[in-house]
Amino acid sequence: MSTQPEQVLESQLVAQLQTLGYAKVVIKDEASLLANLKAQLEKHNGISFSAHEFEKVLNILNKGSVFEKAKTLREKQHIIRDNGDNLYFEFINTDHWCQNEYQVTTQVTIEGTYKNRYDVTLLINGLPLVQIELKRRGLELKEAFNQINRYQRHSFGANAALFQYVQIFVISNGVNTKYYANNRHQSFKQTFFWTDKENKRLSNILNGFTSTFLEPCHISKMICKYIVLNETHKILMVLRPYQYFAVEALIDTVQNSTQNGYIWHTTGSGKTLTSFKASQIIMNMPQVKKVVFVVDRKDLDYQTSKEFNSFSKGSVDGTSNTQALVKQFEDDTKLIVTTIQKLNTAISKQRYLNRMEEVQNERIVFIFDECHRSQFGDTHNRIKAFFGNIQMFGFTGTPIFADNAVKNELGKRTTKELFGKNLHKYVITDAIKDENVLKFSVEYVGRYKQKEGRETNIDIEVEDIDRKELMESPERLEKIADYIIAHHDRKTYAKTYTGMFCVSSVQTLLKYYDILQAKKEAGQHNLKIATIFSYVANEEDADANGFIPDELSVAEEPKVLYGMNKHTREKLDEYIGHYNSMFETNFSTKDSQSFYNYYNDISKKVKERKIDILLVVNMFLTGFDSPPLNTLYVDKNLKFHGLIQAYSRTNRILNEQKSQGNIIVFRNLKKATDEAITLFSNKEAIEEIIMKPYDDYVQKFNEAFIAMLQIAPTVKSVDSLVSEEDELEFIKAFRALMRIKNMMTTFADFDWEDLAMPEQQFEDYKSKYLDLHEKVKQDNDKEKVSILEDVDFELELIHRDEINVTYILKLLANLKTATPSEREKQKKEILDTLAGEVHLRSKRELIEKFIMENLPIIEDADTIPTEFEKFWSEEQRKAFANLVGEENLDKEKTQKLIEDYLFAERPPLKDEALALIKGQQPSVLQRKTISERILDKVMKFVETFVNGMDS
């Protein structure tokens, strides 16, 4: 047998779990699940519940969302017994996590919207806390992920909703196994492999994964200690293996030594979550008085405090000034987040010393974020000299070695010299291999050579000229600005993502901004440009050594406007004025708080994709995490850790469409890039970190095209595919083509002429691909399980913002004025476009009707938009009348329900749908069918007439 059936894999897994200490139990439905829960809770707590008392327990369990239930799971519980006594009990022992009851069961059937049967469930004290979904070998792991999402929609929340207590999902096809937290908002990209301490993957569920990750004590520890409840987003987050091993190493070092150490986790791998969890656990150790988390700039103080508080509400009281910091050292605050500047002031200024001396010899643990930026000065020695009983730990994505150390008055200082032993390492190659960060696509644009005389040809690709006169020439800057304008849409997938442009100096930034702004006012582009830069006097980066300096002095409190000359300040206020006009804000450089608010607002708007390109010199190149940012334009010399830090702004994981971070370099940084990658990983890693050249992807695409033709030789042959298995093979083959095309289209060289598959043929196959997606969506036989239901069609790879209703109206205007010979061809192109765009498919039938019935009688092509609007409004009115008439709905209530849905972006509930019906409500037996039918019609109405029509 070539593949292992699911049931064989399931049997082998259960047998292995039993050897680890899980008791096998037969639970077929919710009734037996509840009976088992009662028995297990009684055993765990050493008590007995009466039937009435257990009802009270179930009332506690029934309340709230998945997030709120995760809190309930961890809290001590109380009910009043039948005899009036107080009864205290727990659902899980979080302090001694090994002391719980462990069971395994299979094929539990729960009926919600539809009946679902789950593969393997791990019960802790009778509650289903780990759900494992298996697929046979050879099937995509993503199918198991999609299957769990289907269960989330259809049955996890049904009846007693005990499966909403699942904390960790495990998906496996035997060979590959991943885990993730119960968070419906995450994509498949946010699922993780488990590894050992050296980052060696344990992916086979029967050979390594189960015996380590699912071992009862370990899975309990993951649930009790290493799941974080994010208060801001109300979601569960689980630590990845390298985060787990780093925290364990820190805990062990604090418990068993007084040594210092550092964690080397590559930029973008989630150091804030790691450091938070370490801080949270260490601060609760009885021998530790306080944990102080130290950052090196005021902006990171704000950002980190906000992130920490999102992980645990109220856990951090960020210090707004040195006075507040000193007070936190005096009071019972266990976790302090502060800047290196305020900490330095607190231990060096006479007015604070008397108060600080009271904690001078207390056991305090200092954790330094991005320790290479803040600790390379005499402040490090001052902290060590002042405190007598401390441990110091550093986190860094790019450590300082002898090769990249900057010499100062103290000599060259490496991370190892300052912090000692490296406690855990997770480098960029590990992160790319695990798909925790993306590769970089680096393109070098416009290298230069000096021609005879003083003339310079900016288009010739020859290296090693980097003269200031050339680099700042207006001709060069304008060419680069034109390049960015021409290619930004392609790089960011029609502004689905955002970009950043880092330049060599403030003076150069001013020139670039003025050029881009002038071109915008001339109508040459509509990009939303913003900028922010440092106020320190040294505006030109005279050393140009590529090391990103601190934005503020490490020796004192930030003085925002200190050292800034009048001209630069006036220019900055001019640019902030543009920003204020664009976003209806009111920021300025008048005082430090207003500028600080401007900084935070820019940070927020970049993350919300409201800014297309942010121009910077140094700010935002370190410590700034924005997954929607995918492109960095570089006109600045960078080296070693400065280069890796800057490039890493672009490679955060987000979704399928964001397949790489785009780096477009306007300088000769090829050698510097290779050196930086070699330093922070190894020489062989360059190919793993940097994407291959464009020609390689052309070859890959052509090979994938040939493979697809083996399944569907012609577009028409897709309709003749015999079985769902054949359809599945076509879906996978065409999806592989889309993935490669998605990577290729960001290259400036991309041209359909290079490919074996013409663009029109790609669009035709895409239409058939979408037909299969529609078929899965509209399949009414819900009891029949289709293998296509669990396939991720990755429609985000198809979405094109520029193809909208406005675009179609322009095509209709062209059609109206076309010659008779061209008319049929153009009509076919319009209909093909409608068939190939996901977001226009629901509108296709009506737009075709407009073309056939209305367009021929319109005399003036300029009136097409107005006539179309009239047509659309009338069709919408008729469709709404049909909806309320067919289902006997109250017109006003239905209109309000649609408005509420559009405002809240929350699908209506079944009870809300039933409340629309005029007169007598349907019987209990009919309620489910009728409510689903009404909701389906309402959602289709919105999809057709409202969504996408604001264009």
The DSSP call for residue 785 is P
pLDDT of residue 831: 77
Residue 706's pLDDT band (boundaries 50, 70, 90)? very high
pLDDT of residue 455: 37
Radius of gyration of the chain (CA): 31
pTM over 0.85: no
| Average pLDDT along the chain | 85
Contact 368, 375 (CB under 8 A): yes
pLDDT of residue 518: 96
pLDDT, one tens digit per residue, over 602-611 is 999 999 999 9
Please report the sign of the dihedral spanned by the C-alpha atoms of residue 712, residue 715, residue 717, residue 722: positive
Count Cβ atoms within 10 A of the Cβ of residue 825 and give its class: 0-12 exposed, 13-18 middle, 19 or more buried: exposed
pLDDT, one tens digit per residue, over 60-85 is 999 999 999 999 999 999 999 999 99
pLDDT, one tens digit per residue, over 310-328 is 665 655 555 568 898 999 9
The H-or-E segment that residue 216 falls in is: helix 216-225
pLDDT score of 1 more than 50 = no
- The stretch 398-425 carries a mean pLDDT of 78
| CA 35/CA 51 separation, integer angstroms | 11
Residue 574's pLDDT band (boundaries 50, 70, 90)? very high
User: What is the signed CA dihedral for 54, 55, 59, 61, rounded to 10 degrees?
Assistant: 40
pLDDT of residue 684: 67
pLDDT, one tens digit per residue, over 505-541 is 999 999 999 999 999 999 999 999 999 986 544 344 4
- The stretch 205-215 carries a mean pLDDT of 95
Greatest Cα pair distance, the chain, in angstroms, is 102
Residue 799's pLDDT band (boundaries 50, 70, 90)? low
User: What is the signed CA dihedral for 67, 791, 740, 189, rounded to 10 degrees?
Assistant: 20
pLDDT, one tens digit per residue, over 617-658 is 998 998 788 999 999 999 999 999 899 999 999 999 888 889
pLDDT of residue 407: 61
pLDDT of residue 767: 87
pLDDT of residue 735: 92
pLDDT of residue 459: 45
pLDDT of residue 803: 63
- Residue 936 or residue 161, greater confidence: 161
pLDDT score of 269 more than 50 = yes
Contact 154, 112 (CB under 8 A): yes
The DSSP call for residue 422 is E
Residue 810's pLDDT band (boundaries 50, 70, 90)? confident
pLDDT, one tens digit per residue, over 112-129 is 877 889 999 999 999 999
pLDDT of residue 309: 65
Token pair of 222, please?
């993951």
One-letter amino acid of 743 = M
Q: Which segment of 480-484, 534-538, 772-776 scores lowest on mean pLDDT?
A: 534-538
Contact 288, 393 (CB under 8 A): no
- The stretch 883-899 carries a mean pLDDT of 89
Q: Can you give the three-state secondary structure of 690-755, one letter per residue?
A: ECCCHHHHHHHHHHHHHHHHHHCCCCHHHHHCCCHHHHHHHHHHHHHHHHHHHHHCCCCCCCHHHC
Token pair of 259, please?
């040594």
pLDDT of residue 66: 95
pLDDT of residue 456: 36
| CA 887/CA 868 separation, integer angstroms | 28
- Residue 595 or residue 707, greater confidence: 707
- State the CB neighbour count (10 A cutoff) for residue 42: 16
- The stretch 677-705 carries a mean pLDDT of 86
pLDDT score of 544 more than 50 = no
One-letter amino acid of 537 = A
pLDDT score of 359 more than 60 = yes
| CA 686/CA 271 separation, integer angstroms | 23
The DSSP call for residue 923 is P
- How far is residue 499 CA from its own chain's centroid? 16
Strand 235-238 to 227-230 pairing: antiparallel
- The stretch 774-779 carries a mean pLDDT of 70
Token pair of 792, please?
């991720």
pLDDT, one tens digit per residue, over 459-473 is 433 344 456 778 889
Angle 713-718-723 (CA atoms, 0-180°, nearest 5)? 115
- Residue 187 or residue 476, greater confidence: 476
pLDDT of residue 393: 95
The H-or-E segment that residue 516 falls in is: helix 506-521
pLDDT of residue 811: 79
Count Cβ atoms within 10 A of the Cβ of residue 553 and give its class: 0-12 exposed, 13-18 middle, 19 or more buried: middle
| CA 97/CA 365 separation, integer angstroms | 25
Q: What percent of the chain has pLDDT over 90?
A: 50
- The stretch 822-845 carries a mean pLDDT of 76
pLDDT of residue 689: 84
Across 20-29, 230-239, 596-605, 618-627, the highest mean pLDDT is recorded for: 20-29
